[in-house]
Amino acid sequence: MHLKTLTLRGFKSFASATTLKFEPGITCVVGPNGSGKSNVVDALAWVMGEQGAKALRGGNMADVVFAGTSSRPALGRAEVSLTIDNTDGALPIDYSEVTISRTLFRSGGSEYAINGTACRLLDIQELLSDTGMGRQMHVIVGQGQLDAVLHATPEERRGFIEEAAGVLKHRRRKDRALRKLETMAANLNRLEDLTAEIRRQLGPLARQADVARRAQVIQADLRDAKSRLYADDYAQLSAQLASESQGERELGEQRAAAQAELGRLRGVLAELEAAAQTAGPRVRAAADTVVALTTLRERLGSIQSLARERARFLDAPAPTFSGPDPEELEGQARSARAAEAELHGEQEAAEQALAGASERRGAAEEAERTAEHRLAAVHLGVADRREGLARLAGQVAARESRIEAARAERGRLAASLVEAEERARAAEADYSELERDIAASVGVGEDLEAAHARALAAADTADRSAKQLAEAERAERSRVQVATAQMDTLALSLDRRDGTAQLVADGHAAVLVPQAISVAEPWRAAIAAALGDFAEAALTADLAAALAALDHARAADAGSVRLAHAGARAGTGARAREEAQAASAAEPETHEQGRRAGEREVPAGLTAALDVVEVKEPQYAAAITALLSRTALAADLAEARDIAAAHPHLRIVTAAGDVIDGARVSGGGSAAGSLIELQARYDEAAEAGAAAEARAGELQREREAADAAAEEARRAVAASLSAVRDADASAAQANQKLARLSATLRSAQAEVERTGPAIARLDTELAAHAEELAELRERLVVAEKAPQDAEADLTEAQRERDTAAEAATLARRAETDARLQLRTIQERVSALSGRAQQLAEAAEAERTARRRAEERHRRREAAARVADGVRADADAALAAIAESVARAQDEREAAEAAQTEHQRELAAARAAIDDASTRLTELTDAAHREQLARAELTLRLEALATRISEELALDADTLVEEFGPHMPLVEVTTDADGEEVRVEQPYVREQQEKRLKRAERDVARLGKINPLALEEHAALNERHNFLATQVADIKKSRADLLTIVREIDERVERVFTEAYADTAREFTGVFDRLFPGGEGRLVLTDPEDMLTTGIEVEARPAGKKVKRLSLLSGGERSLTAIALLVAIFKARPSPFYVMDEVEAALDDRNLDRLLGIFAELQRDSQLIVITHQKRTMEIADALYGVSMRDGVSAVISQRL
């Protein structure tokens, strides 16, 4: 696989369509600066999916579109097409040639295509990722990217290897799977909450549906039995108007026995209710204990994890000191000072001896030269006289001129010497000061690293705090969802479809009673029982509106409806009626006034029903007051019995919903909650949802603040890391400055060393010229003498010369010995000079470093001990809390079981009381009928006819005709052949009475009947089944996604481990080739976690001890980055690589090594190199030249 062609249209400086044809091997793209060579690299990165505008050297993505020049207008779009030879099938697509296209419009739209077919960016990235090319674009090494590779974080370096190994596609799939899991978790929580709420509602609704189903059969049987009995009663009453009453005593005894039995059953019920009231708090207390212990266990788990992580972070070995002992250094400094002082004394003595010897040697040599000159002058005297005095005088003048010139040169050299010595002293002072600064910067670097470690810890703490707040926010959001689900479910139960609700929906009534009132928690069942059928009634403004609504319901055939109007007034006496008339003439009562009016019927000291009811809309206070007038509340039946005995005119209602109203007693209740209770639960759920929403908002603000703090902490980490890197850069700059100062010092010292001998040579020359001048002058004096004195002067001069020569030889020998002695002492002094001060400073620096290291180690040990203690305490507390949670759960289960048993016994007791109450009511009615006078039989007959008409919608004559005792009962049975046979049975009143009573008991036992329960149960059950199916599907999908994530992690870990091992091995080899004698290796930051570990690069060129990349030179850093990239290339070869001026900073020797590596990469991959180096062009198989004219780039090609 290799690149075949690259076509650019309107991309950056390539305004016209330009095609570059590539061949396998090395293709070099050359051209002057600014001609558009790097735009070719940008085009390759862009067409393969690069999304960062900065990576393309632009401010935004629209910058890639040709912007126009003075001679050409701007274009509206940029298009790049890349054709890849896929004959080897490296790309997972069934084409031998693949063309990838990308188009960007200046308006912002973009298009992608593979072989002309539109696709997504993700499709292109995944197509290329299997070949080691991905979003990191490590195969394209652009300008400045080498330094970016070195300054990359360990995790970013890991990304290069992952991209080359082709695992980024799997990581993207894992990220998508994790995002789906997160979304799925929220949906699953909401579905499970909604399903649980619906499941909780299904039980009561199923019982209501069963009751409604049975009620249909029972009510048909009840109507038939009632019709026959009413017909029999009417016939008997018609025939027995004069008959006497009988059985009054028996009825009285039966009534007394029924009353006794009813009292006994009520006592049993009171005991069971008392036991049930104690069981409820036990269950709630046990549940609260389990929740509290579970919360405590989660908090202790968090503390345990935090302590373990803190202890692991602080666990570090004791510091070891590889430097010399400070005391030993100080001892050496003292010894050096003593030796230096002693040598200074010897040096002074030697200098004095040398000075004396030099003076004696000078005097002797001067005497020797004088004698030699005199002898020479005598010898030359005769000749000089022959040559003439004029020539000798000329030589004297010439010598004097040379002496003047030599003296001028010596003055210049002396000034140069002074200047060089001054430069040397300044450089030496700067060198010493910089050395001290570098020594001090070592401590500063350690402080910066410690600050970086603290910033990392602070960032970790801030991240954990943000995560905890996010978890708390999610928990509150979950509570909002639970409250919403409860409201949805309760709304289904509150959504009535009877005639009363229809009146409210049609606007003929204002509001339902449960929606207009709010009842305190313990008394909801009591108020519902007190209101009775009117607990589900609708409220109207006045009586006229109520009657109009009733007419509407009858016209619409809406069924039975119940209404209460706000014009009603409480009370039954004359005074109450007067108050009602006065109130109607005045302004409408407020709720408080109405409540007080109703309370006047309940004696002080008792709890009136109106005391626990709050009317939400004051205009309906009068209606509620009328409905709950003369109603007192009792905690239980015992208290209700006492109140009924003391105030028989009151209606007493217990907290359980039992009602005593004169001779009428009812109770037992129903398993399903009343509309008042359902509405209260709906309001509570709404309040809980609003409170949870408010808490979630507050937590969101705290979480956002924590996120900002975490971001600030991350910026602090980046700043501290930047400070560490800046310190490293400063140290490198200081080292470079130290090297420059060292070079300046050496240069100045060399100049001093050069100038000193030059001055000495000039001094020698001046002395020689002076001697020659003196000799010439003596010759001139001798030449001017008489000839007769010459012989005597010659003899005397020879004798003086011999004596002076011997003395000079002895003086030079003595001076040489003194000079050698002084040089030896000076060399020893030079060796010891400054040694004592350096040793003392080194001792102090070593002592300071050890003190700081020990202090850091003590602080870390103390913190680690605290963390270990906290972890141990948390472990112990977790173990103890686990046992407490188990015990609390057992206690909760036991309390719930006991509560269930109490509820079952209560239901049985209430059913028995219902039967006894029904029996007592029947006996009471029979006794009252027997006590009536014969005169009342006619009224009873009329009342019976009226009842027949109202209840059965039949007139009495028709009823007797169709259901009279003379009419037989028809029963349908099955014979032996399985055929239906109609059998007629004679009428027996006792059988019909039993039949009626059984039907009435069945109806009474059924309690309140919801006629719409069948339809509601079917709809709710269907919804439950649907939600359960959805929950199962989501759980299965979640399990599948978790399996995918686990498989991806295993694959990524295996592939990365292999790729890292190969890359590390190749990096060592490539580094050895680029840095002969050096050492380089790759190091994992966390070898225990191969899924997230980063990669550090250690590089030590030959002859250097540094391993920090920031301390390397520019060329060394470039070579190290190249070594890392080439190691990745060789470990996981890619079809092609693009190098943009990567060898610009290399010298010839390093360039030779890099070109050798290029030749190796050429065997397996295609190379496209942007270069200015002639030697790089020489190894190319093809050349592309890029030129620019009028702001538009053009190319020419040349195959080599």
Flag whether 207 is in a domain. Answer: yes
Indicate if 500 and 615 belong to the same structural domain. yes
Residue 1048 identity (one-letter amino acid):
I
Using CA atoms, how far apart are residues 250 and 248, in angstroms rounded to an integer?
A: 6
In this prediction, residue 589 carries a pLDDT of 44
In this prediction, residue 595 carries a pLDDT of 44
Of the candidates 60, 3, 55, 1, which has an alpha carbon nearest to the alpha carbon of residue 27?
A: 3
Q: How much is the average pLDDT of 878-897?
A: 81
Most confident region among 92-96, 296-300, 340-344 by mean pLDDT: 92-96
In this prediction, residue 592 carries a pLDDT of 47
Flag whether 761 is in a domain. Answer: no
Using CA atoms, how far apart are residues 537 and 511, in angstroms rounded to an integer?
A: 9
Domain boundary among 685, 713, 747: 685
Residue 462 has pLDDT above 80, yes or no: yes
Where does the pLDDT of residue 735 fall: very low under 50, low under 70, confident under 90, or very high at 90 and above?
Answer: low
Q: How much is the average pLDDT of 1106-1120?
A: 72
Flag whether 66 is in a domain. Answer: yes
Indicate if 161 and 206 belong to the same structural domain. yes
In this prediction, residue 111 carries a pLDDT of 92
pLDDT tens column, 775-815:
777 766 766 654 545 556 666 777 777 787 778 788 777 87
Percent of the chain, pLDDT > 70? 80
Indicate if 528 and 653 belong to the same structural domain. yes
pLDDT tens column, 768-782:
878 777 777 776 676
Flag whether 37 is in a domain. Answer: yes
Flag whether 943 is in a domain. Answer: no
Indicate if 124 and 205 belong to the same structural domain. no
Indicate if 154 and 71 belong to the same structural domain. no
Using CA atoms, how far apart are residues 1017 and 1023, in angstroms rounded to an integer?
A: 10
Please report the DSSP string for 197-264 in residue order.
Answer: HHHHHHHHHHHHHHHHHHHHHHHHHHHHHHHHHHHHHHHHHHH-TTPPP--HHHHHHHHHHHHHHHHH
Residue 107 has pLDDT above 70, yes or no: yes
Indicate if 73 and 179 belong to the same structural domain. no
1162 or 837, higher pLDDT = 1162
- 93: domain CATH number is 3.40.50.300
β 77-85/97-105 pair status: antiparallel
Indicate if 5 and 151 belong to the same structural domain. no
Q: Is 1081 helix (H, G, I), strand (E, B) or coil?
A: strand
Indicate if 80 and 200 belong to the same structural domain. no
Residue 527 identity (one-letter amino acid):
I
Using CA atoms, how far apart are residues 514 and 63, in angstroms rounded to an integer?
A: 67
| Backbone dihedral region for residue 930 (phi beyond 0: left; psi -120 to 50: alpha; all else: beta) | alpha
β 538-540/97-105 pair status: unpaired
In this prediction, residue 934 carries a pLDDT of 52
Residue 689 has pLDDT above 70, yes or no: yes
pLDDT tens column, 348-382:
887 888 788 788 878 877 777 777 776 776 666 65
Indicate if 1046 and 1113 belong to the same structural domain. yes
Residue 272 has pLDDT above 90, yes or no: no
pLDDT tens column, 137-192:
567 876 567 777 777 888 888 887 877 777 766 777 777 778 888 887 887 788 78
* Residues 516 and 542: beta-carbon distance below 8 Å: no
Using CA atoms, how far apart are residues 936 and 929, in angstroms rounded to an integer?
A: 9
For 480-484, 910-914, 1145-1149, which range has the lowest pLDDT when averaged over its residues? 480-484
CA distances from 284 to 627, 691, 901 (A): 34, 22, 16
- Which residues are annotated as part of the binding site for ATP? 32-39
* End-to-end alpha carbon distance in the chain: 22
Where does the pLDDT of residue 869 fall: very low under 50, low under 70, confident under 90, or very high at 90 and above?
Answer: confident
* Residues 1174 and 20: beta-carbon distance below 8 Å: no
- Which residues are annotated as part of the binding site? 32-39
Flag whether 866 is in a domain. Answer: no
For 18-27, 921-930, 1063-1072, which range has the lowest pLDDT when averaged over its residues? 921-930
Flag whether 634 is in a domain. Answer: yes
828 or 1195, higher pLDDT = 1195
Residue 438 has pLDDT above 80, yes or no: no
* Residues 1016 and 492: beta-carbon distance below 8 Å: yes
In this prediction, residue 87 carries a pLDDT of 85
Q: What is the DSSP letter of 1091?
A: T
In this prediction, residue 205 carries a pLDDT of 75
In this prediction, residue 128 carries a pLDDT of 80
Using CA atoms, how far apart are residues 267 and 846, in angstroms rounded to an integer?
A: 94
Indicate if 558 and 660 belong to the same structural domain. yes
In this prediction, residue 1019 carries a pLDDT of 83
Flag whether 617 is in a domain. Answer: yes
Query: What is the number of domains present in the chain?
Result: 4
For 406-420, 487-501, 849-863, which range has the lowest pLDDT when averaged over its residues? 487-501
pLDDT tens column, 900-922:
787 788 778 878 888 887 887 77
Domain boundary among 685, 712, 742: 685
Domain boundary among 659, 685, 711: 685
Residue 321 has pLDDT above 60, yes or no: no
* Residues 864 and 311: beta-carbon distance below 8 Å: yes
CA distances from 1093 to 149, 158, 1053, 1120 (A): 17, 8, 10, 21
Residue 547 has pLDDT above 60, yes or no: yes
Percent of the chain, pLDDT > 90? 3
Residue 133 has pLDDT above 50, yes or no: yes
In this prediction, residue 871 carries a pLDDT of 77
Where does the pLDDT of residue 497 fall: very low under 50, low under 70, confident under 90, or very high at 90 and above?
Answer: low
Indicate if 116 and 30 belong to the same structural domain. yes
Q: What is the DSSP letter of 11?
A: B
How is residue 165 written in tokens?
Answer: 């190994």
pLDDT, mean over the chain: 76
In this prediction, residue 98 carries a pLDDT of 92
Orientation angle between helical segments 389-494 and 675-783, nearest 10 degrees: 180
How is residue 209 written in tokens?
Answer: 């549906």
pLDDT tens column, 587-635:
344 444 444 444 446 777 788 878 888 887 787 788 888 888 888 888 8
Element (H, E) at 1000: helix 989-1006
Structural domain containing residue 517:
496-569+602-685
Residue 113 has pLDDT above 90, yes or no: yes
Count of other CB atoms within 10 angstroms of residue 69: 14
Place of tokens 């359902």: 678
Of the candidates 892, 729, 793, which has an alpha carbon nearest to the alpha carbon of residue 147?
A: 729
Q: How much is the average pLDDT of 334-342?
A: 75
Where does the pLDDT of residue 1128 fall: very low under 50, low under 70, confident under 90, or very high at 90 and above?
Answer: confident
pLDDT tens column, 79-90:
999 999 888 887
Using CA atoms, how far apart are residues 566 and 543, in angstroms rounded to an integer?
A: 8
Indicate if 121 and 170 belong to the same structural domain. no
Residue 385 has pLDDT above 70, yes or no: no
